[in-house]
DNA sequence: TTTCAGTCTGTGAACGTTCACAGAAGCGAC
DNA sequence: GTCGCTTCTGTGAACGTTCACAGACTGAAA
């Protein structure tokens, strides 16, 4: 395994061929006829480089095909040029939520414009979390982007102790003042949907919420209650776990407990898809007997029958703003304020 | 921007507090009463370390909270300890396919066991591709994992020239012998579905394929043709683009051209969901008038109405095997053979 | 002419590892 | 006692950058 397959060859300027090793800043300097320092200055566009040197270095870089070695750079600057996205779901459930895709895609793209790369890690169990902490403490990331972190996650405290720039996509319950975040206005979105259902003349409106330790779970319920006031009785509230199956069984429980309901606001499209199955199984017509409202406007909202009336979150903008906050912190901002973005009601045939 | 906010503090051994800087291998050596070399040997578990030293070093590492600096290590070993996953879709379409999620999750988990981290990059346009090449040539990844790379992608040639270990999740058309891959047996899966439709007594079976420059697009069509022989007339073949909408319009075109069809094999569940919409719009009942078969067994297959009969791919195993191949190459294997995994027919109500 | 400020450039010393080498210590065989 | 082998350890020299410093060169002002 330690087999030294061919010792290192000295970086001679191969007279009749190409160099064996990747060119270093020394090679560039030699070709350009300047010193390391000047090349470095061009690389980091410092001031005080003469136009002539600048041009010579640029030419030499192109000629040699030089690429800066980030390891060497990081070693001295103590900056890694990368950011780690931490997925704090138990392994099996990660990505069950199709919204992840949008967020990851957007984050990568946004970071790429600054030449920052994105490392993805899981934090589903203690081993994972320890790995994340080790990685971050090892200085391999300039910042952390938390995804769907639940209330009380020990990782948050650990990161806080390390004092590394960290932000969340969606609030971390109980840490709203510690971990900056960008999020859709879940509460107002839930109000929009509930108001709409009321406006359509529905009288007994139930809800299926997400888990109460997630911001979407809590705040969408709060918005629901905001509109209905004391009419939001416990009898009409059921909890799900963001999965399709969870939505299905929650709907079944609701139907058993409150057979007279005529509408249900489901806190995610995926759960709403499950709820539709349960309703169909119970012989209720949608929307004639029961109106169903979802949340997210994810792809699944279009593939259900009937297509779901739902609340659209500006997912891309949420992701963009989250990255933006993180970059600001990395750049040294002392404090940044959370960003809350507006939602839209999308009416389709399920209501 | 170059503001030097506080110079570096010397690493004095704070008499009354903790050290300001992260401990280095020197600190560990000092605490353990050995030299750098010995600590390094313990870290890389070389032979020839006395039990006493070994224990002392282990204790010192725990005591100081030492974490190896990968940058410094990479600088000398020329190994990065990370792998880059390249998503070769145009930006908008990335992740449209829900299968990505499974693959990413599995890959991360599998790599984590070897303490290799996963960087994700896009390769949707030339700028992206150039970034990937620069990253890889800079020595920041030990290997590349290609996702959904289309035929003729210039990135493949570029990576080939760099001679970096590279594998693909699903074959890269035209490069099957250059880029090792793991994949589901698309062709046989398509045969399973087609045979099944024939067995159900369907006579005029159409298909909606994926793009012809993707392996799933080509091979699922081939499997379809394998079973139907010359009955697979051009009239009954229509091409989609893996999206829901693409499936919908392809179905509409098919209905116009061949109103007498009584079954359709759609090369992905997402497109099949679109096809269902088109059929419903045309007043055809599923499965009474037209049987619909999908492919993937993704989440969407359950949320359509009726739920889709489909072909399940062992996605997790595909991802695992892909990572496995890559790790083998990184470990120095000269050649590795492609891995083809079997598919299953899942019967639901759409047929 | 001298002085000074402003530009520009080169150089040594880090950064935190690993690697190759040299050598010490222990032990058995001659 | 010496030799040789094995096991173990310390040390200097990389790896490829950036950073701080010192100095050289301009041109204008005194």
Query: pLDDT of A181-196, one tens digit each?
Result: 999 999 999 999 999 9
Is the pLDDT at B94 greater than 70? The verdict is no
Task: Work out whether strand A263-266 and strand A166-169 pair parallel, antiparallel, or are unpaired.
Answer: unpaired
Beta bridge mates, B144: B84, B166
Q: Give the up-direction half-sphere exposure of residue B132: CA atoms within 13 A in the CB hemisphere.
A: 32
Computed over every residue of chain B, the mean pLDDT equals 88
Which range has the worst mean pLDDT, A79-88, B98-107, B149-158, B272-281?
B98-107
Q: What angle is formed at CA B315 by the lines to CA A83 and CA B349, rounded to 5 degrees? A: 125
- The whole-number pLDDT of residue A102 equals 81
Nearest C-alpha in A relative to B80: A71
Rounded mean pLDDT, B323-346: 93
Whole-number percent of chain A with pLDDT over 70: 91
The length of chain A, given as a count of residues? 351
Q: Which of A70, A270, A303 sits opposite B140 (nearest CB)?
A: A70
Nearest to B142, CA basis, from B157, B164, B161, B122:
B164
Closest nucleotide to B51: CA versus each C1': D8
Inter-residue contact A313 to A298 (CB < 8 Å): no
Nearest C-alpha in A relative to B67: A138
Is the pLDDT at B111 greater than 90? The verdict is yes
Is the pLDDT at B286 greater than 90? The verdict is yes
DSSP letter (8 states) at residue A309: B
Q: Which of B101, B118, B305 sits opposite A95 (nearest CB)?
A: B101
Is the pLDDT at A5 greater than 50? The verdict is no
Residue B47 beta carbon within 7 A of nucleic strand D: yes
Inter-residue contact B74 to A71 (CB < 8 Å): yes
Whole-number percent of chain B with pLDDT over 70: 91
Whole-number percent of chain B with pLDDT over 90: 71
Is the pLDDT at B19 greater than 50? The verdict is no
The predicted-structure confidence for B211-239, as pLDDT tens digits, reads as follows 998 899 999 999 999 999 988 889 999 99
Residue B52 beta carbon within 7 A of nucleic strand D: yes
Rounded mean pLDDT, A23-45: 92
Is the pLDDT at B2 greater than 90? The verdict is no
Computed over every residue of chain A, the mean pLDDT equals 88
Nucleotides of D under 7 A from a protein CB: 7-12, 14-21
Buried b (16+ CB within 10 A) or exposed e, A235-262: ebbbbbbbbbebbbbbbbebbeebeebb
- The whole-number pLDDT of residue B165 equals 94
The predicted-structure confidence for A292-328, as pLDDT tens digits, reads as follows 999 999 888 988 889 999 999 998 999 999 999 999 9
Is the pLDDT at A166 greater than 90? The verdict is yes
Task: Say whether residue A280 is in contact with chain B using an 8 A CB cutoff.
Answer: yes
- The whole-number pLDDT of residue B120 equals 94
Rounded mean pLDDT, A213-240: 93
Q: Which chain A residues touch B71 with a CB distance below 8 Å?
A: 70-72, 74-75, 80, 139-140
Q: What share of chain B is helix, strand, coil (3-state, %, to 5)?
A: 45, 15, 40
Rounded mean pLDDT, B53-82: 93
Q: SS3 for B81?
A: coil
- The whole-number pLDDT of residue B68 equals 92
Is the pLDDT at A238 greater than 50? The verdict is yes
Q: SS3 for A45?
A: coil
The length of chain B, given as a count of residues? 351
Is the pLDDT at B200 greater than 90? The verdict is yes
pLDDT band at B139 (very low <50, low <70, confident <90, very high): confident
Residue A163 beta carbon within 7 A of nucleic strand D: no
Sign of the CA dihedral with A161 first, then A166, A172, and A175 last: positive
Task: Work out whether strand B263-266 and strand B291-293 pair parallel, antiparallel, or are unpaired.
Answer: parallel
pLDDT band at B48 (very low <50, low <70, confident <90, very high): confident
- The whole-number pLDDT of residue A56 equals 94
Which range has the worst mean pLDDT, A12-16, A36-40, A283-287?
A12-16
Rounded mean pLDDT, A270-283: 95
The predicted-structure confidence for B148-168, as pLDDT tens digits, reads as follows 888 889 999 999 988 899 999
DSSP letter (8 states) at residue A95: T
- The whole-number pLDDT of residue A101 equals 77
Which range has the worst mean pLDDT, A16-20, A252-256, A306-310, B92-96?
A16-20
- The whole-number pLDDT of residue A15 equals 34
Rounded mean pLDDT, A198-215: 95
Q: Which of B5, B119, B134 sits opposite A119 (nearest CB)?
A: B119
The predicted-structure confidence for A279-292, as pLDDT tens digits, reads as follows 999 999 999 999 99
Whole-number percent of chain A with pLDDT over 90: 71
Mutate to test the interface with B, among A22, A103, A117 (most CBs of B within 10 A): A117
Instruction: Tell me which residues of chain B, numbers 51 to 70, contact chain A at a CB-CB cutoff of 8 Å.
Output: 67-70
Write phi, then psi, for A350 (nearest 5 degrees).
-85, 5
Q: How far off is chain B from A66, nearest CA to CA, in Å?
A: 9
Inspect the interface and report whether the beta carbons of B94 and A105 lie closer than 8 Å.
yes
Residue B5 beta carbon within 7 A of nucleic strand D: no
CB proximity list for A2: less than 8 A, separation 6 or greater: none
Determine how many CB atoms are found less than 10 A away from the CB of residue A203.
11
Strand segments (E) across B159-255 = 166-169, 181-184, 205-209, 237-239
Inter-residue contact A140 to B118 (CB < 8 Å): no
- The whole-number pLDDT of residue B298 equals 85
Distance in Å, residue B47 CA to nucleotide C29 C1': 26
Instruction: Tell me which residues of chain A, numbers 117 to 156, contact chain B at a CB-CB cutoff of 8 Å.
Output: 117-122, 128, 131, 134-135, 137-140
Determine how many CB atoms are found less than 10 A away from the CB of residue A37.
12
């Amino acid at each position: 395994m330690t087999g030294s397959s061919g010792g290192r060859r000295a970086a001679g300027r191969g007279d009749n061929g190409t160099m064996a090793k990747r060119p270093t800043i020394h090679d560039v300097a030699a070709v350009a006829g300047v010193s390391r320092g000047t090349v470095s200055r061009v690389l980091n566009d410092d001031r005080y480089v003469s136009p002539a040197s600048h041009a010579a270095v640029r030419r030499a870089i192109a000629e040699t095909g030089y690429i800066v070695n980030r390891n060497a750079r990081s070693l001295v600057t103590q900056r890694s040029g990368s950011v780690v996205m931490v997925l704090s779901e138990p392994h099996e459930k990660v990505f069950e939520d199709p919204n992840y895709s949008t967020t990851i895609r957007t984050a990568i793209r946004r970071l790429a414009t600054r030449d920052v790369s994105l490392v993805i890690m899981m934090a589903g169990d203690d081993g994972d979390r320890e790995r994340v902490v080790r990685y971050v403490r090892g200085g391999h990331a300039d910042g952390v982007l938390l995804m769907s972190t639940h209330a009380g996650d020990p990782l948050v405290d650990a990161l806080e102790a390390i004092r590394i720039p960290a932000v969340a996509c969606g609030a971390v319950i109980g840490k709203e003042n510690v971990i900056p975040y960008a999020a859709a206005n879940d509460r107002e979105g839930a109000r929009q949907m509930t108001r709409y259902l009321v406006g359509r003349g529905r009288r007994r409106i139930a809800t299926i919420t997400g888990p109460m330790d997630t911001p979407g779970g809590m705040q969408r319920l709060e918005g629901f209650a905001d509109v209905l006031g004391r009419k939001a009785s416990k009898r009409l509230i059921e909890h799900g776990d963001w999965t399709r199956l969870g939505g299905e069984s929650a709907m079944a429980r609701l139907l058993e407990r409150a057979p007279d309901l005529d509408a249900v606001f489901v806190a995610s499209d995926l759960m709403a898809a499950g709820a539709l199955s349960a309703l169909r199984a119970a012989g209720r017509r949608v929307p004639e007997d029961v109106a169903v409202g979802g949340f997210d406007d994810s792809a699944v909202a279009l593939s259900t029958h009937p297509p779901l009336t739902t609340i659209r979150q500006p997912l891309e903008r949420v992701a963009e703003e989250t990255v933006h906050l993180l970059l600001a912190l990395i750049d040294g901002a002392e404090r940044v304020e959370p960003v809350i973005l507006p939602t839209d009601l999308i009416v389709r045939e399920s209501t």
